[in-house]
Amino acid sequence: MTLDHFLKNQSVFQSVKYLVYAALLINVFLFMAEEMSSSAALNTSVTSIGSFFQIFSATIDTGAWLVLLIFFELETYVLSDHLLRSVVGWFIRGTKFLCLAAITVAWWGYIAELSGLMASQPMSAGLCETLDASWSVLINLDQFEPFSASACGAGEWLVLTDYERVIATPAFLQSAVWLAALDVINASAWILVVIVLDIEVRVLLSRQHTLSLLSESVRGVKIPLYLILFLAAVYWGFEGSFLDFWDAILWLFAFFVIEGNMSTWRDETGQSQAAGT
C-alpha cells in the first residue's frame, strides 16, 4: 500500500493513528517505571517540587506532550472552527499553555541532569576500599547498578559530585553526557515545533491574509526541526535505549498526523475564502 493510498484509506489511517496515541500513553507509564527504578538505585526520593521534576522529568515531559497532542488533534481534526472560536477554544488554549509550562520545566530538568553529569572529579587513590553497598555505578543515562568492589579496583573511575554516592568510568560517563545533551536538544526542538504549530492554528482561525503570509514563513522553520528530531531518533536507535528510540518514532508519526490535519485544514480554509464564505 502506498503512502497516498494509506492516507486516503481513512478507516485504516484512523485506526493506526489512535493505536499510536494509545502506545504513547503506555510510554508514559514505562518512563515512570524507568525513572522510579533509577531513583531507587540512587537511593533518592522526592523532597521538593524541584526534585520531583528532576527525577520524573521524562514522565512529566511525555505526559504533558500527550495532552498537548490530544488538544492539537481536537483543534486540527475533530472540532469545528466555530467551536474553536468559542469558550471551548479558550479552554483548549489555556490547557495547552499549562502543558507547555510543564514541558518547559521538564526541559529545565534535562538541563539540570546534563549539568549534574558534567560535574565529576577523579576518584582519589584508596577511596575504592572505603566504598560500600550504598554507592551506585552509572552504566548509562538514568541507568545504575549496585557497587561492586571487584569492578572498582580495575581501571580509572570518576566520582559524580552532583550525585549522592555515584561513580562511573570515563567512557560510560561520556556516553551518558551525550545522551543527556541529546535530551536537551530534542526537547528544545519539540518546544519550537509546538510554538510554530500553534502560530499556524491561530492564523487559520483568524483567516487574515497578512497572517497567512506569516504562516508560510514559519512553516519552513519546521523542516530543520523535524530533521533534528529524526536524527535524534536515529542516534537513540544506535546509542540509547530502545524505549527512547521507540518513543521518538511514535512522536514523529503522531506529529506527521497533525501536519496532515493542518494541510487539510489549510486547503479547506483556502477553498472557503475563495468561495467568499
- Chain centroid to CA 134: 32
As a whole number of angstroms, the distance between CA 174 and CA 209 comes to 50
Which whole number is the average pLDDT over 60-64?
Answer: 85
pLDDT at 12 over 90: no
Q: Which of 119, 103, 154, 159 is nearest to 135 (CA)?
A: 159
pLDDT digits (tens, 9 = 90+) for 121-180: 888 767 777 777 778 888 888 778 877 766 666 678 888 888 888 888 888 899 999 999
As a whole number of angstroms, the distance between CA 206 and CA 8 comes to 28
Phi, psi of 252 (to 5 degrees): -60, -40
As a whole number of angstroms, the distance between CA 104 and CA 213 comes to 28
Place of cell 515512570: 32
Query: 84 and 92 in contact (C-beta within 8 Å)?
Result: yes
Q: Note the pTM of the prediction, 2 decimals.
A: 0.80
* Mean residue pLDDT across the chain: 81
Query: 167 and 138 in contact (C-beta within 8 Å)?
Result: yes
C-alpha cell at 246: 521507540
pLDDT band of residue 1 (cuts 50, 70, 90) is very low
Top-confidence range, 147-156, 253-262, 265-274: 253-262
C-alpha cell at 163: 550525585
Q: Which of 72, 126, 122, 67 is nearest to 99 (CA)?
A: 67
As a whole number of angstroms, the distance between CA 61 and CA 52 comes to 12
Which residue did the predictor score with more confidence, 105 or 9?
Answer: 105
